[in-house]
Amino acid sequence: MKTVYIYRLLDPRDRQIKYVGKTVDPRGRYQDHCEARTNMLPVSRWVKCLKAKNLKPILEIIEHCNEESWIASEIWWIAHFKRLGAQLLNITAGGDSSYGGGKGQVIPPERRARISNSLRKHADLFRVTILKTRTPKAIAKMRATKKAQWESLPESEKLKEVAKLREMNHRAHSPEAKRKRSEAITKRWELWRKDRGYTETWDKRRLVKPENRKYKARVA
């Protein structure tokens, strides 16, 4: 049975508790939080604000559970920190996974309505603040403004900007940068495979678990 970790995210500036969650892969989950791929969730917007200041949240494991007990544990910890006055960014009371129910759990209609209203509010905010600024007219205006600013620069400043862009491009495509990206991707892949018990053996174009293999991988 897999170990499920209950964790909390802390603000690095004052160590205030901002979020409580669960995961079976703390490293991968922390990386997901730091990437903050969406603006839909309050915790993602908070992480993006930290990244704008060259900061990252702090992840702390607060309990080790199993696949049967994590739901009650997560709900308890969220309620506990709220009783202590923490302004958590969780949009649910816990015990759910990807806005759905945990294993064997049925989400009550009132909680579904709260989640739906919260996501709808953030979607409306996204449409107002982002989509309205990305209309063809707004984009054309921004391009014209940037072009005018570029043309107003002296020739020496233009040369400096071009040299800076070339240097950034060179760094991004240098052998060292490519090696680091390759190592990072390999590390993420190894963690993902180890967490799920997969091996290098391929069977019918899919990875299979050791206990389901039809043949053994060759040993060099």
Question: What is the model's pLDDT at position 7?
Answer: 94
- pLDDT category of residue 188 using cuts at 50, 70 and 90: confident
pLDDT band at 200 (very low <50, low <70, confident <90, very high): low
Which pLDDT score is estimated for 67?
Answer: 79
pLDDT bracket for residue 55 (50, 70, 90): very high
| H and E: helices and strands count for the chain | 7, 7
Summarised one tens digit per residue, pLDDT across range 153-184 is 999 999 998 998 888 888 888 888 888 888 88
Query: Which secondary-structure segment (H or E) carries 97?
Result: strand 96-97
Cα separation values, 85 from 40, 77, 93, Å? 24, 13, 15
Read off the pLDDT of each residue in 197-213 and give the average, rounded to a whole number.
50
Residue-wise pLDDT tens digits, 83-135: 888 889 998 888 765 444 444 455 667 767 776 777 777 677 666 666 667 77
* pLDDT confidence tier of residue 210, bands split at 50, 70 and 90: low
Structure tokens at 178: 């490519």
**Per-domain boundaries in the chain:** 4-106, 153-211
Non-local (6+) Cβ contacts of 57 within 8 A are: 9, 10, 11, 12, 18, 19, 33, 34, 46, 47, 50
Percent above pLDDT 70 for the chain: 75
Identify the three-state secondary structure at position 133.
Answer: helix
- The CATH architecture annotation of domain 4-106 reads 3-Layer(aba) Sandwich (3.40)
Instruction: Of 86, 80, 67, give the one whose Cα is nearest residue 23.
Output: 67
Q: Which of 96, 81, 98, 71 is nearest to 4 (CA)?
A: 71
